[in-house]
Structure 1
Amino acid sequence: MAARPDARSGYCAATRTFRSKRADVPLPADADLDVVRFLASRRHAGVVALVDAATGHRVTFQELWRAVEGAATALAAPPLSLRKGQVALILSPNSVHFPVAALAAMSLGAVLTTANPLNTPAEIAKQVADARPVVAFTTRDLLPKLPRAGAGAGIRVVLLEPDRLPSDPSPVVATIGEISATPPDPTRRRDRVTQDDPATLLYSSGTTGPSKGVVATHRSLISMVQIIMSRFRLEASNRTETFLCTVPMFHVYGLVAFATGLLGCGATIVVLSKYELPEMLRAINEYGVTYLPLVPPILVAMLAHPNRLPLGGLRKVLSGGAPLSKELIEGFKEKYPQVEILQGYGLTESTAIGASTDSAEESSRYGTAGLLSPSTEAKIVDPETGEALPVNRTGELWIRGPYVMKGYFKNAEATQSTLTPDGWLKTGDLCYIDEDGYLFVVDRLKELIKYKGYQVPPAELEALLLTHPEIEDVAVIPFPDREVGQFPMAYVVRKKGSNLSEREVMEFVAKQVAPYKKVRKVAFVAEIPKNASGKILRKDLIKLATSKSKL
């Protein structure tokens, strides 16, 4: 008889693994299924798929799937001639065109890669040189950022605009308006696309080092869609929920939720081209938004606002990207008692899936990332000995599930060090799972500060420093030192009007921690650099601290 996990924690002593306490999601048996066909085949009562928050323009589900089919027909034909296995790039802010481009490309078996519109031309050229896209979707404003030489020389460009202008340069061969209006050709040649084929090539945030291309398959995306639908119980509901898209669609969180996942369950997605608090509040009220997925900095801004913001019929806030503190959750609950906070944990390498809190009760376990997602197994592994650890012991989190990436693009070495032959993804996060099966993320393994052989988690010191009444924001990094290896250095953003000194910061910490955890250097800055999902860009701060330039 197979060993059974403990009902309370999900831990199985015989296999030394944790099993999700949530019911497994059903996965389609048809091997020849791509994520687009899977999404389009879902039955639901939804009518409006997408709304442009700025203009009020609405796209119904019928119009969406008609546009995707038309765009796919045009993409497959000359002059675009996009084929299975080739890469298509989207370089764009959020728009109602983004999902059409993404779904049309993936339906052909092409591999989708996305770039941050804020990236420099040099950063975009580097991604183009690695991914080698043959087609790029971008806006007129961002077109100059695409490389015209080297790997960018032959890229065929589709503008995410309604029409072409006489002044558009030669790489532009079509607009999304034109290709979406193409009559679908049911007789066109279709490549066989299977669940095991690559669907996306997303570049991980690289908060600790250079970013790597993460390849996810159609199976990864299909299982992610199923998990999202079971999490929000949207299929079983008669009411249409309205989600506001504040997070960037080029990021895994935005792409899986808004350009794919939620379109399978009849939800309406209101698209903000970029986040601004007044515009977000207007959209919530004007379009009857009920769900607000966001990253922690937006939540912080909503709580810090001097007035109680008008949130209309908003019922749930979904936070991802970085864990929320007890103070933040409690403060938000007190200010907005009608809104539930839910959290999620995931990586680009796990298609943004891993753990989540799905009710106010689960979220009230402060500091948790939640219970393991459906269809998920986990191990907590001692980084020194490789031993799998039981309940309430801290080690590196390994997860296994149908949504885990295929590997890193053209990087066998990184793939082998991150994915085990039997499918475990080493997350690089130091975690523990408690006696009730809740996951707690302690820190990034690679970000641990090694002081005289002791390991110091920066997140612990950051959480402590944020309790100081004069500190607005903070980041702690390892500062190299010949004698001790590394010691903790804090970058601090003071609150308005504060004259907090370096000595006061160091004394505040020293009184509350073991000697090896003391902050031994402080610099004051105007803001902490963070990526799109709210994670601290430590590598930028380490570079700043170790360069000879004046702070």
Structure 2
Amino acid sequence: MSFHSPFPDVEIPALSVYDFLFGSMAEADLERPALVDGTSGDVVDYRTLVGQIQGVAGALAARGVGVGDVVGLLSPNIPAFAPVFHGILRAGATATTINALYTAQDIVKQLEDSKAKALVVVSPLLPQAKEAAAEVGIPDELLIVLDGAEGHPSLRDLLVEQAPAPEVTFDPATHLAVLPYSSGTTGRPKGVMLTHRNLVANVCQIFPRMGLGADDKILAVLPFFHIYGMTVLLNAALYARASLVTMPKFDLVEFLENVAKYKCTYVYIAPPVAVALAKHPLVDKYDLSSVHTIFSGAAPLDRVLGGAVAERLGCKVRQGYGMSEMSPVSHAIPFDDDDTPLDSVGPTIANMECKIVDPATGAEVEYPTGEGVSEPGELWCTGPNIMAGYLGNPQATADTLDSDGYLHTGDIATVDANGVVTIVDRLKELIKYKGYQVPPAELEALLLTHPQIADAAVIGVLDDEGEEVPKAFVVRQPDSGLSEDDVMAFVAERVSPHKKVRKVQFIDVVPKSSAGKILRKDLRSAESAAPAS
């Protein structure tokens, strides 16, 4: 049977993202710091942020960008990300946020698929952005370089124009706000169509559970271009009128220095950061006493590891679960709940309903009673935060989103009688490396282009620190002298850093079903039986 959130439904206003976040800004809030550059210390207050959003929206409209258009945004976490991202939405356009680690060809694929009309970038990423823009036909005047580059407009150029923000009209329930790219449950990245209502809903749903307040200072190291950073950090923090301290990339020393220097109170992380916080000796050299809560997402957090972080830092540690296709959060351990086990993902958030379904039979798993826990099954979720579908891919949409509106997550879960959900396994083939999605099919297709590789398969395995990494099982061509290092170097030269193959095992044949599907469970058995390297 299906089960609802244990929390009462929350009201979801029928507003655009801009009007929801900034439409009722109190005068006192306008002077509050909204964004702090962790590197330079520069501060952008809410008054300046709102003005910049309006300025960006006006400048884009003056360049012919508006309702129905898509704008690519390729940037790490810097304060300028916020006014540009929200300026795109304020102009009525749709933002497709691009992974800052992407190669030129990765960028081309996303720009082509989303049919982006313009691209915004920072100068360190301009070489690959310029190559991609040229390939898809984006002109120099619509390749905007935030910090300036000859021949391209800068953010300063946009703002000094003082073009008025346009009057735009659209239905928040159907108009696309963002197009992040996700591999879903398997396969190549697909554009996830998220409406203004989806994003507004998810902030409303999670806000009562997060414990965020206007006096919080939030360390923003998780990328805003990823839906986790976009909703849980950027949008929820701005809604709370809190301050975001931005970091362009993770560096442990800078991370610790920023927490100590800016007295950060709330820190969102992925599990690899938890490993450092629990084990690295550097942590003891910094005053981290300002931190009251650490929230982990993007990949499973081990209970022992989370407990070690909580004890060492003297703070709360919480965990949540979601997917890009759910805007992203569907489950979270509330900030004021000290009883829910940390290796669970907590109860379902407000306004959502879930099922656990036996993947073999399609039958709904019975909800437990008393102190019981359900049998495991695939987690299905429905609610106002569920995507509209995959862009231009009705088959993939139908495979993931059923006619009753339930998203089939591809993750195996259990639920207890209190509604607490635990993710126990992965039905889907997607690898999660440091929170980034790595589709095995993409790496397999690349490996098969190597003249000395006869066949290949890729799965996720755990490294020595408990991080899931891509491992390639490779069948060499006869008389090939191909080495493990050769294979890893071949892939590394052709993919984004997070997609690198980190382990290689040579085998005689890739196990496949009669239909030709790779039997990944057999590879996992081979992995567990392989001698330690």
Do the structures match in fold with TM over 0.5? Answer: yes
Alignment-mate amino acid for residue 519 of structure 1:
S
For residue 205 of structure 2, what is the aligned residue in structure 1? Answer: 227
Shift of 1:489: 4.6
1:209 and 2:193 matched: no
Contact map agreement 1:344 1:357 (CA 8 A) in 2? yes
Distance 2:306 2:376 in 1: 24
Contact map agreement 1:489 1:522 (CA 8 A) in 2? no
Please show how residues 84-483 of structure 1 align to structure 2 within 5 Å.
84-146=67-129, 147-154=132-139, 156-161=142-147, 164-165=148-149, 168-169=150-151, 172=152, 174-183=153-162, 185=164, 188-205=166-183, 208-234=186-212, 240-309=215-284, 310=286, 311-336=288-313, 338-359=314-335, 361-362=337-338, 364-391=340-367, 392-447=374-429, 480-481=510-511
Q: TM-score normalized by structure 2?
A: 0.79
1:76 and 2:29 matched: no
Shift of 1:126: 1.2
Closer/same/farther in 2, CA of residues 478 and 436 from structure 1, 3 Å limit: farther
Shift of 1:157: 1.3
Alignment-mate amino acid for residue 17 of structure 1:
S
Closer/same/farther in 2, CA of residues 517 and 398 from structure 1, 3 Å limit: farther
Alignment-mate amino acid for residue 244 of structure 2:
I
Distance 2:8 2:161 in 1: 42
Contact map agreement 2:256 2:283 (CA 8 A) in 1? no
Alignment-mate amino acid for residue 160 of structure 1:
L
Closer/same/farther in 2, CA of residues 473 and 218 from structure 1, 3 Å limit: closer
Alignment-mate amino acid for residue 202 of structure 2:
M
Distance 2:234 2:335 in 1: 24
Secondary structure, in 3 states, of the residue corresponding to 2:387? coil
Distance 1:268 1:485 in 2: 48
Distance 2:103 2:364 in 1: 43
Alignment-mate amino acid for residue 421 of structure 1:
S
Contact map agreement 1:42 1:265 (CA 8 A) in 2? no
Contact map agreement 1:214 1:408 (CA 8 A) in 2? yes
Paired positions, count: 452
Alignment-mate amino acid for residue 298 of structure 1:
V
Shift of 1:134: 0.8
Shift of 1:258: 3.4
Shift of 1:367: 1.8
Return the match for 1:59 from 20, 44, 67. Answer: 44
Closer/same/farther in 2, CA of residues 273 and 390 from structure 1, 3 Å limit: same
Closer/same/farther in 2, CA of residues 303 and 49 from structure 1, 3 Å limit: same
Secondary structure, in 3 states, of the residue corresponding to 2:219? strand
Contact map agreement 1:20 1:375 (CA 8 A) in 2? yes
Alignment-mate amino acid for residue 159 of structure 1:
V
Distance 1:179 1:448 in 2: 40
Contact map agreement 1:399 1:424 (CA 8 A) in 2? yes
Contact map agreement 2:219 2:259 (CA 8 A) in 1? yes
Secondary structure, in 3 states, of the residue corresponding to 2:278? helix
Contact map agreement 1:242 1:288 (CA 8 A) in 2? yes
Distance 2:410 2:154 in 1: 41
Distance 2:364 2:347 in 1: 19
Distance 2:98 2:430 in 1: 29
Closer/same/farther in 2, CA of residues 181 and 390 from structure 1, 3 Å limit: farther
Contact map agreement 2:379 2:412 (CA 8 A) in 1? yes
Secondary structure, in 3 states, of the residue corresponding to 2:82? helix
Alignment-mate amino acid for residue 190 of structure 1:
V
Alignment-mate amino acid for residue 413 of structure 2:
C
For residue 34 of structure 1, what is the aligned residue in structure 2? Answer: 16
1:48 and 2:25 matched: no
Distance 1:72 1:364 in 2: 44
Contact map agreement 1:478 1:486 (CA 8 A) in 2? no
RMSD: 2.7
Identify unmatched segments of 5+ residues in structure 1: 1-15, 450-457, 491-515, 525-551
Secondary structure, in 3 states, of the residue corresponding to 2:403? coil
Closer/same/farther in 2, CA of residues 487 and 259 from structure 1, 3 Å limit: closer
Alignment-mate amino acid for residue 405 of structure 2:
G
Closer/same/farther in 2, CA of residues 42 and 232 from structure 1, 3 Å limit: farther
Shift of 1:63: 0.7
Shift of 1:395: 0.9
Identity %: 32
Closer/same/farther in 2, CA of residues 130 and 473 from structure 1, 3 Å limit: closer
Distance 1:137 1:292 in 2: 27
Alignment-mate amino acid for residue 204 of structure 2:
Q
Alignment-mate amino acid for residue 258 of structure 2:
A
Secondary structure, in 3 states, of the residue corresponding to 2:528? coil
Distance 1:142 1:485 in 2: 39
Distance 1:159 1:423 in 2: 40
Alignment-mate amino acid for residue 22 of structure 2:
A
Contact map agreement 1:290 1:316 (CA 8 A) in 2? yes
Identify unmatched segments of 5+ residues in structure 2: 368-373, 432-458, 474-509
For residue 494 of structure 1, what is the aligned residue in structure 2? Answer: none
Deviates more, 1:440-449 or 1:103-112: 440-449
Distance 1:440 1:523 in 2: 30
For residue 530 of structure 1, what is the aligned residue in structure 2? Answer: none
Closer/same/farther in 2, CA of residues 518 and 400 from structure 1, 3 Å limit: same
Distance 1:399 1:259 in 2: 24
For residue 513 of structure 1, what is the aligned residue in structure 2? Answer: none
Distance 1:323 1:473 in 2: 10
Secondary structure, in 3 states, of the residue corresponding to 1:249? coil
Alignment-mate amino acid for residue 48 of structure 1:
P
Shift of 1:208: 4.1
Shift of 1:138: 0.3
Alignment-mate amino acid for residue 64 of structure 2:
S
Secondary structure, in 3 states, of the residue corresponding to 2:398? helix
Distance 1:276 1:82 in 2: 36
Contact map agreement 1:51 1:58 (CA 8 A) in 2? yes
Alignment-mate amino acid for residue 511 of structure 2:
D
Distance 1:106 1:157 in 2: 17
